[in-house]
Structure 1
Amino acid sequence: MSATRPLHLAVALDGPAHCGAEHYTELAGLAERGALDFVTLGDSFARPGLDALAVLARIAPGTRRIGLVPTVTTTHTEPFHVSTAVATLDWVSRGRAGWSVGVSATEAEARLFGRRPAAPLGALWREAGEVADVVARLWDSWEDDAEIRSAETGRFIDREKIHHVDFEGASFRVRGPSTVPRPPQGRPITVVDLTGTGEPGRRVAARHADVVLVRAASPEEAARTRALLRREAAGHGRDPGSLRVLVSLAVDLGESESVPHPGLGAGRRLAAPAAHFSGGPVELAELLARWHRGGAADGFHLAPIAPHRDLERIVNGTVALLQHRGLFRTFHPGGTLREHLGLARPVNQYATAATGGPA
């Protein structure tokens, strides 16, 4: 593994729904002990269960380093509320928040709100891209030093450092500014999972995502997808080196280590759309190391089939072996999710414009 290209690992906390924080706190703490970059928690209006963002906000005080990335649905949700909710998660976690961009495509979900009918996937992802754009603007609507908090003068903020965003999308308008100060990370991490999104989701990812989750049945397929995303990001004027592409992999570590189930663990191609590994922690470590060394991806997003059992084996088996071989870190390099991912804190676009630099 190149010293300039570290391996990134994340894990999904999804599984049977639990109506309590203890289950998720225990899993997130286990992932944190393995020095993983972040955990994700899925969410959708199409199924019952707790709100993912609220759950991760609840467990934030019970963790110290691990990144926290809930799915937040942009369809039927006000962009202003998305912005303030994710910013609040970044504040309560002291800079460890991200959000995974979600859309809501069914008529049943639309009826829950009653404001408009379901829309085609392309339109939903165009709207999601606009939400990602305006959310970043709202996070920047407060400059970092906008808060004064002076008891002597009675001034709480410097109004010259609070900015209106004046954004008009296809289905919403947002003037701003935010009611929440700029988050500790400047902008919390934006994640886009390309599963089932097609080209519309990929366009949003190339333009707005910090982390992209992809499915691939072979390292060659993963490498092609990563190269395409990096080219498209560069086409939007972004530094392609700032994009982290992680391969999503369903993991079942309940099988014998010596006889992996046919699939990625056995070195065979697996039919899309989902990649699945069944075998032991050692084979999984070898798979991750081989794909990463070959340049297939920047890391992996692992989805344990049996959350407690498989995550424990991932951390105590697979991750421990990667650490022993010097292929994965033994501690978090900083306190924020951006630091875990090796991403710089973004410059505030409005503060830069105010000083005469590029917007």
Structure 2
Amino acid sequence: MTGSHGRGLPHLAAALDQQGAHDSAPYEEAVRLAERGGLDFVTLGDTFAGPGPDALAVLSRLALGTRRIGLVPTVATPHTEPFRVPAAVTALDRVSRGRAGWHIGVSTTEGGARLSGRRHDAAARLWDSWEDGADSSMKGSSAVPRPPQGYPVRIVDATEGSARPVAARYADVALVRVADPAQAAAVRAELRSAVREFGRDPDRLRVLGSLHVDLGGGERAAAPGHGGGGPRQTAQGPLYRGGPVDLAELIADWHEAGAVDGFHLTPVEPLRDLERLVNGTVALLQHRGLFRTFYPGSTLREHLGLARAANRLGLPDPVWKG
């Protein structure tokens, strides 16, 4: 395991999703464990096809029992109510004192991606509709002051090519579901180039590899292509199966090679794998000086090394090039 040669330390995040859990109680142990490990953020998805958690409501409750970790719901924006979800994410940013993000789904079709881009614009108009520190709103503005982070951190899955222009124009964090570091590096380079074309600083985009992790095999890789051999592509996406030590090596090696800025990890067995991730993989990275041992600030943007989002009020929007 080698050092990062001045690229900074890798960023780490984890999914909290648990099958059959519908309220905040089952997630409390997991989010506290993730915070103890210094993870940048956790994600939680809504379940649209049947009973499931209300991600915003669950994370709002978890905000009261945590102090530093970022809280990121995956919530779709209704076609008819483009401001409802951004307003709810703003409320989460306020109750968590600047720790909210928003994982926004982007359609794999070109038209759907354009629609998602317009939703991002609608959200930005909402967040910019108050002056920082203002006591009263402009006509037609949001009913709440500007979020503590300026904009909650915006996260886009950029695995599909159609989603990459949206990620390049709007996202603070792009997720890439690939099993090969060379492929991840190519997507990261493509995204950074596109970010530059949109007039943004590519160093303000974090590209995270997105993997499912199965740490049930202890230190022994369960099958060829896993463990020390790296993840393997499955129907559910890239899967790493092996031990916490090999996972630490993978994280360090991909980051060192410039393939990714970190990882978003989805435990196959939620509490078991998260515990082994924090107490095994993260502890080893920390011991070797390859992951932080404390949070550098109090907001999610500070964890990610991103500045507070500036208010674009009165400035023209960038031109969509898609």
TM-score (norm 2): 0.92
Aligned 1:1-359 pairs, distance under 5 A: 1-76=4-79, 78-102=81-105, 121-147=109-135, 157=136, 162-163=137-138, 176-195=140-159, 198-267=160-229, 270-271=232-233, 274-350=237-313, 353=315
Rounded to whole Å, the distance in 2 between the matches of 1:77 and 1:102 is 16
How far is the alpha carbon of 1:243 from its aligned partner? 0.4
Gap regions ≥5 residues in structure 2: none
Quick check: 2:92–2:100 contact (8 Å CA) kept in 1?
yes
The amino acid that maps onto 1:190 is: R
Rounded to whole Å, the distance in 2 between the matches of 1:44 and 1:94 is 26
Deviations 1:42-93 (A, max 9, x none): 1242343121111111111011000000011024351211221010000000
How far is the alpha carbon of 1:245 from its aligned partner? 0.3
The amino acid that maps onto 1:250 is: H
Deviations 1:319-347 (A, max 9, x none): 00000000000011100000000000122
The amino acid that maps onto 1:279 is: G
Quick check: 2:77–2:84 contact (8 Å CA) kept in 1?
no
Say what the alpha-carbon RMSD is for the aligned residues. 2.0
Quick check: 2:22–2:51 contact (8 Å CA) kept in 1?
no
Quick check: 1:9–1:38 contact (8 Å CA) kept in 2?
yes
| 139 and 268 in structure 1: CA distance in 2 versus 1, 3 angstrom threshold | closer
Quick check: 2:209–2:260 contact (8 Å CA) kept in 1?
yes
- Which SS does the other structure have where 1:62 is aligned? coil
The amino acid that maps onto 2:81 is: E
The amino acid that maps onto 2:127 is: W
| Identity across the alignment (%) | 59
The amino acid that maps onto 1:91 is: R
The amino acid that maps onto 1:202 is: R
- Which SS does the other structure have where 1:300 is aligned? strand
Quick check: 2:70–2:101 contact (8 Å CA) kept in 1?
yes
Rounded to whole Å, the distance in 1 between the matches of 2:230 and 2:210 is 17
Rounded to whole Å, the distance in 1 between the matches of 2:192 and 2:239 is 25
Rounded to whole Å, the distance in 1 between the matches of 2:122 and 2:171 is 13
- Which SS does the other structure have where 1:223 is aligned? helix
Rounded to whole Å, the distance in 2 between the matches of 1:337 and 1:259 is 34
Work out which of the two has the higher radius of gyration on C-alpha atoms and give 1 or 2. Answer: 1
Rounded to whole Å, the distance in 2 between the matches of 1:193 and 1:346 is 20
The amino acid that maps onto 1:307 is: P
- Which SS does the other structure have where 2:266 is aligned? strand
Rounded to whole Å, the distance in 2 between the matches of 1:268 and 1:336 is 32
How far is the alpha carbon of 1:7 from its aligned partner? 0.7
How far is the alpha carbon of 1:265 from its aligned partner? 2.0
Quick check: 1:15–1:305 contact (8 Å CA) kept in 2?
no
Rounded to whole Å, the distance in 2 between the matches of 1:121 and 1:48 is 28
Rounded to whole Å, the distance in 2 between the matches of 1:245 and 1:295 is 10
Rounded to whole Å, the distance in 2 between the matches of 1:88 and 1:2 is 39
- Which SS does the other structure have where 1:349 is aligned? coil
Rounded to whole Å, the distance in 2 between the matches of 1:294 and 1:25 is 35
Quick check: 1:75–1:124 contact (8 Å CA) kept in 2?
no
Quick check: 1:213–1:301 contact (8 Å CA) kept in 2?
yes
Rounded to whole Å, the distance in 2 between the matches of 1:47 and 1:222 is 34
The amino acid that maps onto 1:185 is: Q
| 306 and 272 in structure 1: CA distance in 2 versus 1, 3 angstrom threshold | closer
TM-score (norm 1): 0.83
The amino acid that maps onto 1:137 is: R
How far is the alpha carbon of 1:270 from its aligned partner? 2.8
Quick check: 1:265–1:278 contact (8 Å CA) kept in 2?
yes
Gap regions ≥5 residues in structure 1: 106-119, 148-156, 165-175
